[in-house]
Copies of this chain bind each other. A is one copy, B any other.
Amino acid sequence: MSRTRTGPASPATGPVHEALAGLPLVDHHCHGVVTADPGAERFESLITEGAVWPGSGISPFDTPVGVAIRRHCAPVLDLPRHAPAAEYLARRAELGWREVNRRFVTSAGTDVFCVDTGYAPDRVTTPAELAAVAGDAVAYEVVRLESVAEALAAQGVEPGEYATAFPAAVRDAVRRRGAVAVKSVAAYRTGFDLDPSRPSDADVTVAAARWLGAVGRDGGETGGRAPEPRPRLDDPVLVRHLLWTAVDLGLPLQLHVGFGDSDIRMHRVDPTHLTDWLHLTSGTVPVLLLHCWPYQRQAAYLAAVFEQVYLDVGLTLHHVGPARARAVLEEALEITPFHKLLHSSDAYGVAEFCHLGALAFRQGLADLLQSRVDADELGLSDALRIATWTGRGNACRVYGLPRDGLTEG
């Protein structure tokens, strides 16, 4: 398996950098990559959490992530570092999506992927296809709970049956797909300022009647965006029911936290709003807080005081870029137990993010750990253990993955 390429100007290197460069990563949360050439405008829209704003003069390439792509992805496509956006897009089209995907996915050096298959406005790789692109890799599926609920609504369910039909549909999806985890985007739908208690079946029936009735009429609420082609689960009672369904299921639960597109109401997704729910569900399922920025410290607090809470700063790391990845990781790790931080890329659509997410993680974490070793604040063997745990071991333990032979943790 090929490893990440380190640029010649990389300022700090050392044994931790070498160890992380050689460590096959577990990407515990990602999506598929597109199986077509996206075209310039679609590519630009895939690299931003905003949108493409034609005529504005504001290009997604003129952002920290755009700069990072031109710096760190251009060389993978045989271009000079910092190649202009137009040259980048031309070369990408020239190589074609199969070769582009192959280069970026293999250069990520990831050999285990946990793939959220519930968001795919584009035609993207299945988990098996993604693993095949990576070469010697495996991919597990993560079931997005809102998608299961929305599919259930689309196929038709009686309100009085919803409280039992939804958990059954989740169990069925998990079994059919061999999923290792479930995921919720409650952050996008209601935020976390919810009544923490388990809703009664009667409450669920009332809420389901309201929601399914609305779905029947207009396709659901979309919070300021154009209506989506399918129903959108955003009823607070049904979101609570969904979270408790995950608790009953017993699999690790991934929760989107913080940074995302304009559909987020950021002030409502501070994960510490989940505190009462975490007390109530203590001793049940692992809860993995994804992305987290700008709430990485709040997520770290929860990971420090609740046994079941884990976090990553995926998505964030490639959006801020390698130039700023260490700074975000420093905050994420201020008080976090070293068994509680995981790696994810949250790559969707463009394979660049597999590469860039892995690179920003490796470089940022290595800079952080090596500098502490150099200052004699951390022993080298401890630094190496923390690197291995974070890049691989913690995910293997939380998800019960078999490919753990490389770790000692």
**Known interface pairs A58-B337, A340-B58, A376-B9; A305-B267 also in contact (CB < 8 Å):** no
Q: Is A261 an interface residue (CB 8 A)?
A: yes
In chain A, positions 248-304 with a C-beta closer than 8 Å to chain B are 259, 261-262, 264-267, 270, 272-273, 275-276, 278-280, 282, 293-294, 297-298, 301, 304
Interface bits A230-251 vs B (CB < 8 Å: 1, else 0): 0000000000000000000000
Number of A interface residues in the complex (CB < 8 A):
79
Q: How far is the CA of A273 from the CA of B264 in the complex (A)?
A: 11
Question: Which of A262, A282, A306, A319: most chain B CB closer than 10 A?
Answer: A262
Q: Is the CB of B305 within 8 A of A262?
A: yes
Q: Is A195 an interface residue (CB 8 A)?
A: no
Q: How far is the CA of A233 from the CA of B217 in the complex (A)?
A: 42
A385 to B, closest residue via Cβ: B62
Copies in the complex: 3
Q: Is A161 an interface residue (CB 8 A)?
A: no
Identify A261's interface contact among B67, B305, B378, CB under 8 A: B305
Identify A293's interface contact among B50, B56, B279, B297, CB under 8 A: B297
Q: Is the CB of B305 within 8 A of A49?
A: yes
Q: Is the CB of A272 within 8 A of B266?
A: yes
Which residues of chain B come closer than 8 Å to A279, judged between CB atoms?
Answer: 223-225, 262
Which residues of chain B come closer than 8 Å to A334, judged between CB atoms?
Answer: 64, 293, 319-320, 324, 328
A247 to chain B, nearest CB (A): 15
Q: Is the CB of A322 within 8 A of B377?
A: yes
Q: Is A41 an interface residue (CB 8 A)?
A: no
29 contacts between A and B (CB under 8 A): A9-B376, A50-B305, A50-B307, A53-B307, A57-B397, A58-B339, A62-B337, A67-B378, A70-B379, A71-B376, A81-B379, A223-B279, A224-B275, A224-B282, A225-B279, A261-B305, A265-B276, A266-B270, A266-B272, A266-B275, A267-B272, A267-B275, A267-B298, A294-B301, A319-B334, A320-B334, A323-B372, A324-B334, A328-B334
